[in-house]
Amino acid sequence: MKHAHQFYIDGLWVDPIEGRAIDVIDPATERPFATVLLGGKADARRAISAARRAFPGFSQIPRAQRLALLERIAEILRRRNDEIGDIISREIGAPRTMARQEQAWIGLHHFEATIRAFRTFPFEEMQGTTRIVHEAAGVVAMITPWNWPINQIACKVAPALAMGCTMVLKPSEVSPLNAVLFAEVLEEAGVPAGVFNLVQGDGATVGAVLSSDPDVDMVSFTGSTRAGVAVAEAAAPTVKRVHQELGGKSPNIVLRSAAFDDAVRDGVLKCFGNSGQSCNAPTRMLVPGERMDDAIRVASAAADALRVGPPEDPATDLGPVVSELQFDRIQALILKGIEEGAQLVAGGPGRPAHLNRGYYVQPTVFARVTNDMTIAREEIFGPVLSIIGYETVEDAIAIANDTPYGLAAYVQGEQDEARAVAAQLRAGVVRLNRSAWDGSAPFGGYKQSGNGREYGKFGLHEFSEIKAVVGFDEE
């Protein structure tokens, strides 16, 4: 890849000041397939300075020019979709078809959703004689994860550009190459120098500078709750705004009024999508106690039917998990579930029998889990489902809310009953009855799942400051 050893700063591809080479590992083979250079504190500060210099001019350009810029970016993303998807497949192990149709496509979707929201966004409105103005939040540091990399880059960059912010992006060092392609897209689209800057690095060096530097006005972070706490602590002395989308342990309540087999099967597939590496995956399935045997039958069959294999194989449903570190953590938690007495009904420890290399995890289902077990409390971030029994709907709601997280929840059942349950769930997004994903709905969580909201018009609000010009319309 042409720019893998460079950073994009102030409109130019530049060599790092403090470059340190690391391998990018293909999780399907456990072997390096590329290298990148990680920067240091000086690289981060150079990028922040470029963004600070660019902010006064870019924040004041006519909105029509920013809209045209977003439209050019969307056009180029559409053209380079498969290329971006293929590199994501190599980096994180996602099946190639899924990487193109979902992982890469979702980046384009966020730009399209932002464009639609931009056209009707109330940048200025009158309240009596006071003018209420939505302005750019300023220089934004963006720290993004590896699991849906272009998704989390695009849903930050698109609204930030729309509002007139300038920015520095630090992608995950586990999946850094898709961010290089994304920077090339923005360069081709004509993003002005200094508006978008890319620096590769780890959290302890580049991430720490981005979180603490006084020239950064806002940090937008997606990742683990543990890392989110560190970002917030680093940002606190400068009282900068911190937006966080963090972990989850999302419940999926299957009500007695649900089409039971369909609901359970769908819950398994949603839990295991992206090899279970989604923060909003429905990893706790709550079923009526008297239907536990039925849930085991359906869920185990659904898990066993999934094909785990190489990402390039069109028949593959689940690829490997992203890294050895992730694989080892998932294996430890599967063993913990067995040790604590959960009933293993599908999958289990170790790779699938037909695979002897790669970070492949068997689609695993535990039944008769109690909500105090480790596998019901901790975010596993792999293809592991816990089925929990409940007695009453009130019991199910209490179990669902008994978690430090609150990112997402799912409810299956008769529509009026499902709506009533949704009203009592402490989660930022509740999906009813296998509804389609809505990329313009606000995305974010309660409790330790973060603060703030992304997507569509909510992303525009997130990257804006509100100014009141009092007496604007007085003579």
The Cα 241–Cα 155 span in angstroms is 17
- Confidence at 359, pLDDT banded by 50, 70, 90: very high
Task: Quote the strand ranges of 122-232, DSSP E.
Answer: 124-127, 130-136, 139-143, 166-170, 196-198, 218-222
What confidence score (pLDDT) does residue 55 get? 98
At residue 84 the predicted structure's pLDDT band, cuts being 50, 70 and 90, is very high
Percent of the chain with pLDDT over 70: 100
Residues 6+ positions from 302 with CB-CB distance below 8 Å: 264, 265, 268, 269
Angle between helices 177-189 and 149-163 (to 10 degrees): 30
Find out if CATH 3.40.309.10 is the number for domain 251-440: yes
Phi, psi (5° rounding) for residue 308? -100, 130
CB of 456 within 8 A of CB of 443? no
Q: Which amino acid is at 238?
A: T
pLDDT at residue 474, as a whole number: 81
- Predicted confidence (pLDDT) at residue 461 exceeds the cutoff of 90: yes
Judge if 7-246+449-469 and 251-440 fold alike in CATH terms.
Answer: no
Q: Given the structure tokens 């398994």, which residue do they identify?
A: 268
Instruction: Please check the confidence at residue 225 and state whether its pLDDT lies above 80.
Output: yes
> What would the pLDDT profile of 392-401 be if each residue is shown by its tens digit?
999 999 999 9
- Give the CA angle between residues 126, 130, 133 to the nearest 5°: 65
End-to-end CA distance of the chain, in Å? 61
pLDDT tens readout for residues 103-120? 999 999 999 999 999 999
Does CATH number 3.40.605.10 belong to domain 7-246+449-469?
yes
Q: In the prediction, which pLDDT does 1 show?
A: 78
Catalytic positions, written as ranges = 245, 279
Residue 235 is encoded by which pair of tokens? 């940002």
Structure tokens at 108: 């384009």
Q: Average pLDDT for residues 76-92, to the nearest whole number?
A: 98
Q: What does the block give as tokens for 73?
A: 């970016």
Nearest alpha carbon to residue 61 among 216, 198, 192:
192
Residue type, 255: L
Sketch the domain layout of the chain as residue ranges: 7-246+449-469, 251-440
- Please tell me the predicted confidence (pLDDT) of residue 106: 97
Q: What are phi and psi of 309, to 5 degrees?
A: -175, -170
Residue 475, pLDDT > 90, answer no
pLDDT tens string 4-45: 999 999 999 999 999 899 999 999 999 999 999 999 999 999
What is the rounded average pLDDT of the residues 445-471? 97
203: pLDDT strictly greater than 90: yes
- Cβ proximity of 135 and 162 under 8 Å: no
Q: Which two tokens stand for residue 412?
A: 């299956």
Would you state the pLDDT for residue 314? Answer: 96
- pLDDT tens, residue by residue, 404-449: 999 999 999 999 999 999 999 999 999 999 899 999 999 999 999 9
Range 276-303 average pLDDT:
98
Quick check: helix, strand or coil at residue 279? coil
